[in-house]
Structure 1
Amino acid sequence: MTSKPGRPVTTVDGHHVIIGGRRWRATDPSVPDAVGARLRVHLMAARRAVAAARRARDPQAEAAARTRVQGAKEALGERGRPWWEQSAEERRARWSDGLAALDALEDLS
């Protein structure tokens, strides 16, 4: 396992981070910083929307928000097909298509 200052401990292969003793899939390191930042903004907004929908007891809104969380996590490479099994072109398409889809959903609201 390895660690850099201010960053979580990662497995030697860099595929996972260790947080609170649990192993989680790491964000794809090839996602450009600006794109990753935008995807994380979408992710956190979607997580807040999940919480708001749960407080309001609105299952439709909760399902829609969870779909947005899933989309952001997939675009970051944290869910779906592992990023280390994808070609550079597939990885680029994953994050650019995911960001475009999340941006489009934001435009509709």
Structure 2
Amino acid sequence: MTARACPETPDGRYFVVRGRLWRRSDPSLPDERRSALVAELMAARRAVGVALRHKHPAALAAARAAVDRAKTALGERGPVWWKDGAPDLTRRMAKNTVYAEWFAQLGQQA
């Protein structure tokens, strides 16, 4: 199976998975910082899996908090990284947002 790239909104703020918008990482992050944060995020996600397998509620809470910290530092959660005052549309269906026309055109190009 090959990895398929998710469509990215024209302004680069979101990518789309199954019609839903997900906020991208802050593009202004230096590559070294982004790499370190992604490594932290992946370690935290692995820790979530371990805690779930071992049924350890305290470890699960700590791991999920670490995921949240990494995602917030990456700009995927928390305050938006853009400065024009546009609202955060994360988790919304693209067809119900300002990206509706763009998203509809994706189906015609496929």
Counterpart residue number, 2:17: 19
Counterpart residue number, 2:67: 69
For residues 69 and 42 of structure 2, the distance between their equivalents in structure 1, rounded to whole angstroms, comes to: 12
Aligned residue for 1:41, secondary structure, equals helix
Structure 2: segments with no counterpart, 5+ residues: 85-110
For residues 37 and 5 of structure 2, the distance between their equivalents in structure 1, rounded to whole angstroms, comes to: 18
Q: Where does 1:1-109 land on structure 2 (aligned, <5 Å)?
A: 8-85=6-83
Please give the per-residue CA displacement for 1:7-60, whole angstroms capped at 9, x wherever unaligned: 532111211011343210010000111110110000000000001000000010
* Superposition CA RMSD, Å: 1.7
Higher relative contact order (CA 8 A, sep 6+): 2
Using structure 1 for the length normalisation, give the TM-score: 0.68
Q: In structure 1, give the amino acid aligned to 2:72.
A: E
Structure 1: segments with no counterpart, 5+ residues: 1-5, 87-109
Q: In structure 2, give the amino acid aligned to 1:57.
A: K
Relative to its length, the structure with more helix (as a share) is: 1
Using structure 2 for the length normalisation, give the TM-score: 0.68
Deviation above 3 Å: which 4+ runs of structure 1? none
